[in-house]
Amino acid sequence: MFSKLKRSALGAQVPHEKKTAGLATVAMPCPERIVLPMQQHIGAPCTPAVKKGDTVCVGTVVGTAGGFISAAIHSGVSGTVEAIETVQMPNGRSVPAVAIRADGQQTPDPACVPPVVTDQKSLIAAAQACGLVGLGGAGFPTAVKFSPKDLSAIDTLIINGAECEPYITSDNREFLECSESVLGGIAAVKKCLGIKKVVIGIERNKPEAIDLMFSLVKNDPDYSVMPMKSRYPQGAEKVLIEKAVAREVPRGGLPADAGVIVMNVTTVSTLGKFLTTGMPLTKKRLTVDGDAIGEPKNVEVIIGTPISEVLDFCGVKDDVTKILMGGPMMGTAVSNPATPVLKQNNAILAFGPTMSHLPKPGPCIRCGSCINACPMGLSPVEIAGAFQRRDAEMLDKLMTDLCIGCGTCTFVCPAKRPVTQTMNLAKGVLQKAKTGGKK
Ligand code: SF4
Ligand code: SF4
């Protein structure tokens, strides 16, 4: 069914709104207090490694990884641990968090020294020591990506620089401002994992990034830059893999099952920086934009900074009614502006009443637009029917689990139906049926 589809031809033409693309990153001043939730990744939560009253430096481990599928958390400020408290994440889950009062000195932890990486084992150790996760939004621990079942079957490293969500330009800035780290990180992964080819995928709406990367790698036959059409969601992993190597990830499988490792450009660049400085992941570039932002910017923010402070730094207007972590297609609404910036955040968008208004959904007119646009070749309208009947067998047959939650079906629906939300609920019903409610 799926092999006949050209996923990259599907999707939707969404407005780009990338007016921050040409704006160099501005560093935000150090906040007075940061809060670091112990779950900033897919997998097991971290365990606090410090207690109230402890002194920490920039780069000190404050959360120990809770297993192999997990990622350590480090302080981005020097100061004193003020509390181990509970915070509510945007998804509603309550998690423990380490709150640190900054001393303003920004003293680096002397234990942060550049690692020596020579092979797969030392590369995995470096990713763990960096606390590295997928920074494009997924938050998947990078060390796990470096541990495929069969490393010899991996022939291509794909760098995801598509950045297809409207508004977000933080990856574009990573290419333009940190190309040395991007290439340093790529070279280390390529060498340590013995990967032959590198494909750097960038949407055509980032011509400067394409030109720069092309000029830097053009003499190395192992590297290629792949300009991609600007169509959402070109950056979805499975779409990108199909485009880069013309292979499909099997249902329930991982990119490694298609012989590739995919890394977001900021993730690989952060690895490159860690290899030269030894300073783990404690800062993040965010695109701050939306019609309720007075001065849209790309800002470098210490992880754990309250979103409200980032918004104030960018001149948020009084009439803000909606805040999103991430882009308008896949981002998460934030109800509490005190929520801290997380590792995997790449944008904060704030909208006023006009842009926040949600149209009233009408009845489905069976137009099929959601089917024609879905990059995974799914039939959201049939899945919605099976969901209404709580028909788990049919949901399985319709491959509901392949939905990547990209939001394209909602975007194209002329009846303004919340199609993606229904897909998420349907996935929940299917998962419950498959796991007997254990997960
Ligand atoms: S959210 Fe799911 S069903 Fe909707 S277009 Fe994306 S992959 Fe398809
Ligand atoms: S796009 Fe909307 S109206 Fe058209 S079939 Fe899908 S859900 Fe129904």
When pLDDT is cut at 50, 70 and 90, the band that residue 4 belongs to is very low
Query: Is the distance from the beta carbon of residue 367 to the nearest atom of ligand 2 less than 6 Å?
Result: yes
Nearest to 298 by CA among 19, 105, 58, 50: 19
Q: How far is the CA of 388 from the centre of ligand 1 (A)?
A: 17
Residue 233 preceded by cis peptide, ω within 30:
yes
CATH 3.40.50.11540 residue ranges in the chain? 8-18+113-277
Question: Ligand 1 pocket: which of 232, 330, 406 to mutate (most atoms <8 Å of CB)?
Answer: 406
DSSP string across 57-119: -BT-EEEE-SSSS---EE-SS-EEEEEEEEEE-TTS-EEEEEEEEE-S--PBPTT--PPP--S
Which residue is closest in CA terms to ligand 1's atom 7?
403
Token pair of 326 as six digits = 């991430």
Residue-level pLDDT at 1? 39
Q: CATH number for 8-18+113-277: choose from 3.40.50.11540, 3.30.1330.10, 3.30.420.310, 3.30.1490.20.
A: 3.40.50.11540
**H or E stretch covering 247:** none
d(CA 398, CA 377): 10
The best mutation among 404, 424, 425 to test binding of ligand 1, ranked by most ligand atoms within 8 Å of the C-beta, falls on 404
Which CATH fold topology does 30-109+283-355 show? Ubiquitin-like (UB roll) (3.10.20)
For 136-184, the pLDDT digits (tens) are: 888 999 999 999 999 999 999 999 999 999 999 999 999 999 999 999 9
pLDDT of residue 8: 59
Q: Which residue has the tokens 């790529």?
A: 186
Surface-to-core class of residue 332, CB atoms within 10 Å of its CB (0-12 exposed, 13-18 middle, 19+ buried) = middle
Q: Quick one: pLDDT at residue 2?
A: 46
Identify the band that residue 7 occupies on the pLDDT scale cut at 50, 70 and 90: low
CATH 3.10.20.600 location in the chain: 30-109+283-355
